[in-house]
Chain A
Amino acid sequence: MGVSGPDTIQRPPARARKAIVGAIRAAAQPIAEPVVAILLALLVGAVGITLCSGLLAGHKNFDVGLPAAAYLALLGGVASPDGIASTLNYSTPLILAGLGVGLGFKAGLFNIGGRGQFLFGTVGAMAVATAVGVSQSSYITVPLALLAGAAFGAAAGFIPGLLKATSGAHEVVTTIMLNYVFVFVTYWAISGPLSLPNAHQPITADVTNRNAALPIILGQDGHAGILLALVAVPIIWFLLYRTTLGFEIRSAGANPDAARYGGMRTNRLIVLTMSIAGLMSGLAGATVLMGVVHQIEPGYDTTVGFDAITVALLGRSNPVGILFSGLLLGAMRAGSQTMQVQAGVPAELVDALQAIILVFLVVNALRHWLDRRAARRGSTPAVDGGAAQAAEAVA
């Protein structure tokens, strides 16, 4: 930054330049970390691809051009009408569940129960489709099934929330354990109450036959669930930054002691936040059922619950950030098949990339957490007025 003191009068061009630089910095600052994590992951992935091309059995030389070819194929797989529809289909549950996980993060809650909440939401939607789908038109069945998915997901989030609020049981432990519970609840549901009569295996009906399929709005299979995800982003943003509940959630996450002293009912907040997080994951489950898979088959499971954690971290728990990170991870999934076919690089590379991104993000988050903890241990931060004003000048 410049070295001019407050008593030096700045000429307009200098001031304008400073303002522009300041604006760019302000815009770049929050996204710098995720972008660096993504670029580093792509770099590590490229190294990995090159090494595999030379070291694996049946390969003779290191193919230095392969990473570029793979990434281009990945991009090519996304950049077509069907690729875009597929990207959106993959992104929809990631954004929805990611918003839920991000909301939890804002409140200082680590919801790992996305898997169970997603599955229970799927069961809820299927239950409605099974129960009312034959007699009612899709105008009634679809909204009802979505609502049921949301409600079942919320119930699945409510349980760990209640456990934490009443007994202090940590949500990381309870949500992981509940994941297994809901996996088996799902198996029970498709082999019991939701099973298709006279089928050879435990399987549910097809939602298309129950007037519960989401309408296709884009390309061959781009379903309407994406609209839901796009609408959810501003809703969650509004909840966080424009309502008193959002203020409570953010306060409880940033400083639980101060929130409690400020008169916030933190136990109620925990239950509410976990329920909303579960609601979002349940909704994600419902959209996947009604828009993509259409029926619950034996062994049906999801990775959305865990992928949503990466999405939320990559989006820094900010709804708009989650929208973009959800789209990015969705695009990687959508393009992975094309990459496998065209460049011969396994589609699972995408899983690896996602994991590497997560590692970089977590390492950084850990560093911040340690810094904050160190700062908290001292009594007064050694920030003087100069630093305060410098910080404002940069912001």
Chain B
Amino acid sequence: MRYYFLLLICCVCALGAMAHPMPNSVILLDIKSNGVAAEVQLPQSELELALGHKVALDPALRAYLLAHIHPQSLEGKPWKVQIKELHIQPAEQTATGPYNEVTATLWMEPAGGTSVRNFSLHYDAIIAEVSSHKALVSVRQDWERGNYGEQVVEVGVIKLDVKSSTIEPLIVSKEQGSLWWGCRSMVVLGMQHIAEGTDHLLFLLVLLLPAPLLVKQQRWDGYGGTRYSLLRLLQIVTAFTVGHSITLLAGASGWLRLPGQPVEVLIAVSILVSAVHALRPLFPGREAWVAAGFGLIHGLAFAGTLANLQLDATRMGLSILGFNVGIELMQLIVILLVMPWLIWLSRIPAYKYVRVAGAVLAGVAATVWITERI
């Protein structure tokens, strides 16, 4: 997806550009409805220097972290902090060279329903003991402001103020968002998903290629008339929409979970099948059922995007709604652009070549995807 490139571009730019300060701590905040989830990444070498001994993922480390992480309301009321998970894994910061880091997943919750969007983060893990250490704080997810976790927004740096020899807390203050704002950004995400998701578009277009045509002796024949064409196009598109909406709902709400890889392979297979169908009718008259069936698979892939956001029920519901509206909007735009051409071209004998060329191209792309994804 698009964000992989941004990441990639950053990596390429960073190569030879940045290198080795001692690695920093990184704090990534996900602003949820009733609290803030935080991923705290601590470079092992710096943590060991701070602790004065080897790192173990033990109760002592949990106690150390809890003693050094104190979010509180702007009025000074302390938040509750829980350590959900503790891992140790390899990492690398813009060519610091590889190193190990300890990752702590925290849940921080204000008492008595005070704002999760304005708080001061009193934090001095490692920094209390290692004066040269820094922690970079960013917001990774802020659904109500339309940030669903793809762009990390820097908030500030927590470090020793050398002049005063104090470690000042960092004020995290995010502007008010809204459910409407969050839902709207999901519509945009859904539209992007189709616009950039070549495989979904290709499946649909290839399935539509022979839709205006009649079948004669198990071969595609001439044009079936405007009414016939329109009806069949609508049937196929509606069936695909129904199919993917069902699994999008089921998958995103967590009722149904399938690993990503087989889903991706099946999506490529669906393109191959509809490409063959565009050459020779495999399931004439039953395109709508096939579209619905494969729609179920495409919906699972859509769901993966949302399931990863880990939202509460209301926000997840609105996300599914917004995301699906976005998908349908983009699909509609594409269909409206393609349909007149399809109906016009399918009247002329040369349409055969258009259909065959389209089917062959899609078939090749699908084959490449299948081999890539297996």
Are the chains A and B members of one assembly?
A: no
Chain B residues near A (Cβ < 8 Å): none
